[in-house]
Structure 1
């Protein structure tokens, strides 16, 4: 669908922003960014868009050498570009070749970020078409190093920084962002970035990366995405003493000061963007993550990817693994190493799914799931000293003080690592679980790669090729005894873009646990017999847009079923509707 761009004297153009209906029932705006929520259907209007030199500096409209002869005449581009006209596909080929010349992943990351700042559509085209190669560049594991060095590589704002200096003025700050219609906000306070700890203001790389995936993998339009970092200080002494640190140089605010500031933020977001904006909490420390989710789950559309996204993607892998193991989830025992927000969240969703499948009360299904923290197995005799989130997992058992002894005592079917500590699934631990399972399920989920509990090669080698393996960070395929194994990546990128898109297209006003189960089931359903033959419990990321459409449809269906959807009437075919609403980064013609 072409936009209508008419040249006027003075170097400006008027861009006709009348909504255009698409075949699939969505609405397409002038940038080809499909709008599916009814609140964004507006009457026609026009805005001024600069032409000439300014147009080439506008990443939302710039096409570089892809501007054709007529466009160059109409928009005062003659002489500002070399004479060659290069199509988007050739631009993409050239950039991919250039990226592959870099040896260091961080340099590739910086090149991708520079491209996004220069030509937004080309950035997303490159990422969508080469997702398996570039996902590790724009997100885990490279984004971890980017956050550590974010102060040094910061060039221009990619989101909003809201610090304690803005207390009492948060609504004003939100109104400084140029886009008025926001669908998804990803927000962090930088206290627990991946497995790297407190990176303060430099955690901005996480919301930026997550929202790039919301667009590339889930189809949410870029202009509907807003990355935010809440800066309440940092306890990282190295950053506090760094003259180049870009955040507040003070210790972290805690307690009432912290929660009052977050409440001002949450109130301002709802006031400025309405009831249906999705707020995704990202990389908050455990004690704040659970508290914030509990406080706002009933008043806002909120989602914590570390808790809920991780749980959903891991559950999907477990459900898919049944195609290799047989039986149901209730037939197996699970042992977690690491009892933070991810570990307990995954455990609870597994218990809920087991209860749903077997009709056994959740209180009983929890007893099939065991957790190990730094002090050993969580058992009843430790209950008085346990944090609140650990207490439901304290079962009757003699004390066990380390992971190896816990594996030998519990004899789990699945060993799941959420510890954030690398190399903890030792040869002895892996061999122990392999000794009483024909196909031991090993999930080393901690990020980045250096924090993974074990590598894919170690898991396959130490189990003599019998392991079903998945990790949080990507590992290359492994050859063992003449067979090729493709390790699964329990990457939240499978879940959160599709989940968020399903909430957007249905106009959902709250997130419900059943939506997470719906997302898991949709993802597991995309694992074929061919994938299982290679030991895969997740489908290839190359199909992620199709996967996200199915997840979005399942989530939207659940929103309608629960009475939480506001986009009415409900589309007849939700998968086709989701596909029709997805942002596509192909260039539009300007006239």
Structure 2
């Protein structure tokens, strides 16, 4: 027994349930299927609705894994898992946890990208809340369907579906620019061009206002918003509510953690680094922001001075101040003075690498094979350990294959990718490839913010999260190990990140939760007790 089992969010003990009979079996949160014990079958009128043998959760996992394994391809396996989640959430997460290494690329990138592209075709049952931009006045009515116990809503993930996993605009109820979707007779979204401008902003404002009113303690996670909206919406809301943009802050944090580990291996000080970013959308500028913030934190330099250590490339080539209105607000701080580049015909990646001689090359461009042999070898001429991160997802959009990078640098490169890749080898030395995946970062950040009831998610809290993640790098002990910990350890990683985030929030006076322990061991226990586990908990009746 823990000293913190009395906490409202302690993940042990009985759970109140207001359902019975078939209605209970159709509720994925409470359903236990064949694992309902006899006393609950009696209490909740389940006799006659289930086979008589009472099974354990482990037995259910074994059966579900056999069913999963029988599916012919990864998309079919993804669809099976989605269906399982709609039936029984505990079983879904227990199965995932048991086989996480094998299943991660199926339930997440890259297969999830295929599932999203085929969403209208594999659709079975709706999940979550769909907000229609033509029904702005119904936002409150739509969200009200989820506030039976509003105090239990801790975390809201919201997307407008415009820029997903490197596959772009996938539409929904803020409409789409994707002609393939608009011409598809099975498409489930609105068949009109995507809304922009004041109507869009008013719709988002209404959502945020209503969500904050109905779920006042919830943390809002923005996901997959388009380039022109992601940064400005984050800047608009983050100063007065706890919110987070995964494509900007999540990508920036996990990449910076990998950079910190790589700098440790290569023995380069962060104050000296030169970084080339190929692809300057939400992810690229988010990384640039995190890097400049880290440099400014570790040195007397301002963020403006730190930004001069980063060269950003996008569709027009190297971003220059003369690009003017073509620059997004997020790109402007990283645009270079034109005087640095008198030859406007040399703004391409190879020319920039040749002139800058970067320590770090990061790709978020979704341009496959953009990191050519010539580019990589040019970089490797000037640094002992080129730090090269082709991060674009899904796998087919990676800027280079890890094996090629390793061969072209004669095994000297330090590599992280956006999707899982097998180890590479050069001259008999095996090198593990780190997966620079946001999933090792954003759960712990959100957990820390939720448990502490942070009023805001500050820059310092994000830096604390980065340092906590970097400290878990296997490469700190062995340079041939990956720069980031494996996703199979995500629960322990999240614990350490949440602890760092909470401690920082306490120091900044941003917490609203009372009774947060001050000692490290007590704080860890306090967090762990409130981390949900995929286990069946006893059900007790609750009146409706």
Under a length normalisation based on structure 2, what TM-score does the superposition of the two structures give?
0.92
Conserved? CA contact 2:136–2:203, under 8 Å: yes
How many pairs were matched up?
A: 530
Query: Hey, what does 1:371 align to over in structure 2?
Result: 312
Q: Do structure 1's residue 316 and structure 2's residue 316 form an aligned pair?
A: no
Shift of 1:95: 1.9
Q: Supply the distance in 2 between the matched residues of 1:132 and 1:64 (Cα, whole angstroms).
A: 26
Shift of 1:147: 0.9
Q: Supply the distance in 2 between the matched residues of 1:90 and 1:287 (Cα, whole angstroms).
A: 49
Q: Supply the distance in 2 between the matched residues of 1:530 and 1:483 (Cα, whole angstroms).
A: 18
Shift of 1:103: 3.5
Shift of 1:266: 0.9
Deviations 1:174-205 (A, max 9, x none): 0022553311111111111121111101xxxx
Query: Hey, what does 1:102 align to over in structure 2?
Result: 71
Query: Hey, what does 2:171 align to over in structure 1?
Result: 200
Question: What is the DSSP-based 3-state SS (H/G/I as helix, E as strand, rest coil) of the residue aligned with 1:469?
Answer: strand
Shift of 1:304: 0.6
Among 219, 240, 262, the alignment partner of 1:278 is: 219
Among 320, 325, 329, the alignment partner of 2:266 is: 325
Q: Supply the distance in 2 between the matched residues of 1:537 and 1:455 (Cα, whole angstroms).
A: 17
Shift of 1:269: 0.6
Q: Supply the distance in 2 between the matched residues of 1:569 and 1:24 (Cα, whole angstroms).
A: 10
Deviations 1:283-324 (A, max 9, x none): 111111112112111222211110111101111111111221
Conserved? CA contact 2:81–2:92, under 8 Å: yes
Deviations 1:85-112 (A, max 9, x none): 3211122122223322333111111111
Among 247, 270, 287, the alignment partner of 2:189 is: 247
Conserved? CA contact 1:469–1:488, under 8 Å: yes
Among 179, 196, 203, the alignment partner of 1:261 is: 203
Query: Hey, what does 2:399 align to over in structure 1?
Result: 453
Q: Supply the distance in 2 between the matched residues of 1:553 and 1:244 (Cα, whole angstroms).
A: 46
Q: Supply the distance in 1 between the matched residues of 2:326 and 2:49 (Cα, whole angstroms).
A: 69
RMSD: 2.2
Structure 1 unaligned blocks of 5 or more: 2-21, 36-43, 202-230
Among 438, 445, 460, the alignment partner of 1:499 is: 445
**Comparing 110-119 with 178-187, which one deviates more in the overlay?**
178-187
Conserved? CA contact 1:323–1:532, under 8 Å: no
Q: Supply the distance in 1 between the matched residues of 2:140 and 2:374 (Cα, whole angstroms).
A: 55
Question: What is the DSSP-based 3-state SS (H/G/I as helix, E as strand, rest coil) of the residue aligned with 2:207?
Answer: helix
Conserved? CA contact 1:23–1:580, under 8 Å: no
> Structure 1 residues 129 and 393 mapped into 2: Cα distance closer, same or farther (>3 Å)?
same
Query: Hey, what does 1:553 align to over in structure 2?
Result: 499
Q: Supply the distance in 1 between the matched residues of 2:29 and 2:331 (Cα, whole angstroms).
A: 47
Question: What is the DSSP-based 3-state SS (H/G/I as helix, E as strand, rest coil) of the residue aligned with 2:131?
Answer: strand
**Comparing 312-321 with 99-108, which one deviates more in the overlay?**
99-108
Q: Supply the distance in 2 between the matched residues of 1:569 and 1:284 (Cα, whole angstroms).
A: 36
Conserved? CA contact 1:407–1:433, under 8 Å: yes
Alignment of 1:98-497 (within 5 A): 98-177=67-146, 180=150, 181-201=152-172, 231-274=173-216, 276-382=217-323, 386-396=327-337, 397-398=340-341, 399=344, 400-497=346-443
Under a length normalisation based on structure 1, what TM-score does the superposition of the two structures give?
0.85
Q: Do structure 1's residue 571 and structure 2's residue 517 form an aligned pair?
A: yes
Question: What is the DSSP-based 3-state SS (H/G/I as helix, E as strand, rest coil) of the residue aligned with 1:544?
Answer: helix
- Structure 1 segments (4+ residues) deviating >4 Å: 44-47, 380-385
Shift of 1:385: 5.3
Q: Supply the distance in 2 between the matched residues of 1:441 and 1:510 (Cα, whole angstroms).
A: 33
Conserved? CA contact 1:478–1:484, under 8 Å: yes
Structure 2 unaligned blocks of 5 or more: none
Query: Hey, what does 2:461 align to over in structure 1?
Result: 515
Conserved? CA contact 2:265–2:476, under 8 Å: no
